[in-house]
Structure 1
Amino acid sequence: MIEEMETIEEFLAQHSADVEEAVRKAAAAEIMPRFRSLAAHEVDQKSGPHDLVTDADRLAEQYLTETLGDLLPGSVVVGEEAVHANPATYDAIRGDAPVWIVDPVDGTRQFVHGDPGFCTLVTLAHRGVPLASWTYAPVPDQFATAVRGQGAYLNGERLTAGSPAPGADLRIAHSHPDYTTDEQKRALLGLRTESVAPRPCGSAGLEYLAIARGELDATAFSWEAAWDHAAGILLVEEAGGAHRTLTGEPFRITGGNALPFTAARDEETARRVVELLNKAA
């Protein structure tokens, strides 16, 4: 089993491109052939009408689970659909083995409705720390990568989140009302104020990418599933951004965060969003 950080860094130096290839192949083989071609029997509900899963989710996760596990012997895979089937598998994120965190189709709701706003997310983490991430939006063929301490890139170009334009409204994507409790809705009401332009989010992975590209100022999310956030949190960090929970602490992929939390283009914006959320909570 790989246990030392230096060894994992060596793995990334040698195999990051192999991970990208695996993600692309999963999308080409299992996701894109079903885009706008899903049959009724290929779509199911998990916890309710807003929580959907498709054959594309299941089969792409199966492909990535097998491929990534082979790439890094001794690692484990925590995938969204596997955790739905067996919640205990989520505990591996807190363990000592390197862990692949996989969201095969982030934005399943959009995917089902034929909207191109979905992506595949993969993160390699160790002892609760995201070390590398891969974000792939197959329709526009946008591939973003981040390695801790080495920056964030989109199709090979360095990403810099920058700071919000002086005097402009803060553009904030927040949890969709369909996925929030009454208490969380109250906290998010803090964004309904002067100089803030809030809107419901789409795919979490693509919202994080928008921050890293300097196209969105912040997010405000009310759930903490690692497969939705680990890749994007690292991408934003490596593009110069920041993330904070309701108590002002950094977001932890291992859970136990004070929610909602924010990721933002810079530290000042992150603290401003937390302030707004706390005022209404």
Structure 2
Amino acid sequence: MIEDMLELGDFLEQGVRDVEAAVREAAALDIMPRFRQLGADEVAEKSGPHDLVTVADREAEERLTASLTSLLPGSVVVGEEAVAADPDSYGALRGAAPVWIIDPIDGTRQFVHGDPGFCTLVALAVRGEVLASWTYAPALDEMAVAVRGRGATLNGAPLRTRAPGAGRPLEVAMSHPDFTTDEQKRALLPLRTEDVSPRPCGSAGLEYLAIARGELDSTAFSWELAWDHAAGILLVTEAGGAHRTLTGEPFRIVGGNALPFATARDETTAARVAGLLASAA
């Protein structure tokens, strides 16, 4: 195990920019040529009318799967679209091999509607620990990178969270009602209190980026799919933030978390939001 970690450390010394280039390539070749150009036959529903997939999602994930596993031989992929086709492939998160966690288009609904608020998310994890992440918003040309223990950057500039503004409610982006059950909606009700200003989330990856750059106080999510959270949680953590589940423990990408969970710009805010959520449990 120690030898494996040393090899991954060597890879991260050399490969961060190679991964960034692979993400940019997938966006340039598979995503952006279809932005605001999608045909009706290039969009399909998965589990319902709000859960969309496009030809761009599938082709970008296929390209990233090939390029990333080539960069790191012996690695495997847990991708949103591949798991939709083979749910058992999600179990690779618990295996010994390094795992690339891919969401080719986080915010597919926004992408379909011509809204620039979408991004590509990639994270590298081993044995449940996220080592690095890449968040790329191609329509905005924003690339955020985080490496465990080495900080976070946005377009090469250091990212740091900021303290909540004094005298104003905490702004919390929470699970969108279109993607939540009645039970999950009830679990989020404690956020509707005097000193909190909740709103529905957009792209999860971009909400995490908003925390990391000091524009949002917290998120509260009621689902735990790794491709939505792995990249962003590392980004926020490396920028100075924190994350907590209902039991006060950190969020685990392998699952089994007490939900909903909070990610925030600092420990105090994370504890505050998680505590409110726990009051409904």
Match of 2:249 in 1: 249
Matches within 5 A, 1:225-264: 225-264=225-264
Corresponding residue number in structure 2 for 1:61 = 61
Q: Does 1:133 align with 2:165?
A: no
Q: Once the two structures are superposed, what CA deviation does each residue of 1:218-253 show, in whole Å capped at 9, x if it has no partner?
A: 000010000000000000000010000111110000
Q: Do the aligned partners of 1:3 and 1:96 also contact (CA within 8 Å) in 2? A: no
TM-score, normalised by the number of residues in structure 2: 0.98
Structure 2 CA distance for aligned equivalents of residues 44 and 3 of structure 1: 44
Q: Which residue of 2 aligns with 1:215?
A: 215
Given the alignment of the two structures, is residue 100 of structure 1 paired with residue 100 of structure 2, yes or no? Answer: yes
CA drift of 1:162 comes to 2.1
Give 1:22's aligned amino acid.
A
Partners of 2:113 and 2:246 in 1: CA distance? 33
RMSD: 1.2
Cα displacement (A) at 1:166: 2.0
Alignment-derived partner of residue 82 in structure 1: 82
Superposition deviation, residue 212 in structure 1: 0.3
Using the aligned pairs only, state the percent identity. Answer: 73
Q: How many residues align?
A: 281
Instruction: Please list the CA deviations of residues 28-74 of structure 1 after superposition, one character each: whole Å capped at 9, or x if unmatched.
Output: 00000000000001000001101100000000000000000100000
User: Which string of whole-angstrom CA distances, capped at 9 and with x for unpartnered residues, describes residues 4-39 of structure 1?
Assistant: 211101101111100000000000000000000000
Flag structure 2 segments of 5+ consecutive residues without an equivalent.
Answer: none
Aligned mates of 2:207, 2:100 — CA distance in 1:
21
- Structure 1 position 2, deviation (Å): 10
Name the structure 2 match of 1:163.
163
Unaligned residue ranges in structure 1 (runs of 5+): none
Give the Cα–Cα distance (whole angstroms) in 1 for the partners of residues 96 and 131 of structure 2. Answer: 14
One-letter amino acid of the structure 1 residue matched with residue 210 of structure 2: A
* 1:18-33 map, 5 Å: 18-33=18-33
1:3–1:52 CA distance, 2 compared to 1 (3 A): farther
Matches within 5 A, 1:31-70: 31-70=31-70
Task: For 2:63 and 2:179, locate their aligned partners in 1 and report how far apart those are by CA, in whole Å.
Answer: 28
Q: How far apart are the structure 1 equivalents of 2:58 and 2:87?
A: 16
1:189-238 per-position Cα deviation (integer Å, ceiling 9, x unaligned) = 11111011110000000000000000000000010000000000000000
One-letter amino acid of the counterpart of residue 20, structure 1:
E
Tell me what 2:153 maps to. 153
Shift of 1:3: 5.8
The DSSP-based 3-state class of the residue aligned with 1:208 is helix
Tell me, yes or no, if the aligned pair for 1:3 and 1:98 is still in contact at 8 Å.
no
> Partner of 2:272 in structure 1?
272
Which AA in structure 2 matches 1:216? Answer: L
